[in-house]
Amino acid sequence: MRVYANQLQRQLKQPLPKILMVFGEEPFQQQQILDQLRAHCLETGFDERVRFTADDKFNWQLVLDEAQALSLFATRKLIEVEMPNAKPGKEGAAFFKTWLELTDNENILLLWGGKLEAAQTKTKWFKSLDADSWFFPIYEISRQQMPEWVSQQVQTHQLQLTPDAQALLCDLFEGNLLGAAQEISRLSLVYPHSQIDIEKIREAVSDNSRFTVFQLGEDLLLNNNRNKIVQILQRLAGEELEPVIVSWLLHREAENLAQLKVAQQNRQFDAECKKLRIWDNRKAGYNAALNRLSIEQINSILQAIELFDREYKTTGLTFAYTRLAHICALFSGDPSLFSFNQAMLVSDYLD
């Protein structure tokens, strides 16, 4: 049966099945579930843990031999098989059938690995395990799901975060659950019995490169401070931060501006801010940017970012941060810069 990550604790109140499966593409959540399953097995009498890694030439008989071997340390074992490609082959499928038919087998089999594609969940070997297994599919946490995930982590650590502080954590650690979990754990040690606002988050993560990227977004929108923007870019370049992380932020801000521009024209600015999870303390910055940028200029910024991403990922750019500085300057709304940008786009088209 399929069990989702947020159902694990409730599911562990039920008797364990013969087979546990944990497959997915997000390593932090997968590790959390594996750790909890291992701990539960140990608490319930599976005192020995044995691990195998199944490659294309793996001999599944080794697992059966281990299950049937007498142990000096335990009567019941947790036997793990890591399956990086999640393809057991004919031998593996036959092994699963044999495992389920063993009458004197008190061991638990834990299978885990990377993401299972939809086609793999429809194979005979997978379907044959459905009635006698728990399958934990691990999915990436999307931007829309990040606030709920952070909220759960905050509750687990009994922290008190203001809404804008929680939103900042979501921005800083989107796509990096391990970093977010570590930061929340650290905050629980630094501020154990006090409310944590956005300024305390800033102080706590001021040495984090992602926070510096977030500052870049604020200066683009709030202050239009070109000197500060250049300083931030120099710091990020010095830290050898991957340029695509910066372009990701620039693209996100430009996309937000494009959607807000339309909403502003339809007098739906506040509603769109709520939809985009833009908190009140950032609305002034977006308003300032919208007042100096036309929709045509915003679209030109998006084209410049797309051109940067395409060239960086295909041919590479020797001076990537110089190009990023030019894109940042476009957020100022200076018409002369857009003329130069248009010339670059035309040149790329002709090439």
**What pTM, to 2 d.p., does this model score?**
0.61
Distance CA 87, CA 55 (A): 9
What domains, with CATH codes, occur in the chain? 5-138 (3.40.50.300), 146-204 (1.10.8.60), 209-350 (1.20.272.10)
Query: What pLDDT, on the 0 to 100 scale, is given for residue 31?
Result: 92
Percentage above 70 pLDDT, the chain: 92
Query: What pLDDT, on the 0 to 100 scale, is given for residue 349?
Result: 46
Tens-place pLDDT, residues 266-290: 999 999 998 887 877 788 889 999 9
Query: What pLDDT, on the 0 to 100 scale, is given for residue 213?
Result: 79
Query: What pLDDT, on the 0 to 100 scale, is given for residue 78?
Result: 95
Neighbours of 153 (CB within 10 A): 19
Query: What pLDDT, on the 0 to 100 scale, is given for residue 182?
Result: 86
Query: What pLDDT, on the 0 to 100 scale, is given for residue 350?
Result: 43
Distance CA 82, CA 20 (A): 12
Q: Which residues of the chain have pLDDT under 50?
A: 349-350
Query: What pLDDT, on the 0 to 100 scale, is given for residue 344?
Result: 62
Distance CA 351, CA 347 (A): 6
In one-letter notation, the amino acid at residue 316 is G
In one-letter notation, the amino acid at residue 17 is P
Query: What pLDDT, on the 0 to 100 scale, is given for residue 44?
Result: 94
Tens-place pLDDT, residues 201-249: 877 776 566 667 777 877 776 678 888 888 888 888 887 888 888 898 8
The upper half-sphere exposure of residue 272, i.e. CA atoms within 13 Å in the direction of its Cβ, equals: 18
Q: Select from 5, 17, 20, 40 the least CA-distant residue to 111.
A: 20
What φ, ψ does residue 112 adopt, rounded to 5°?
A: -150, 155
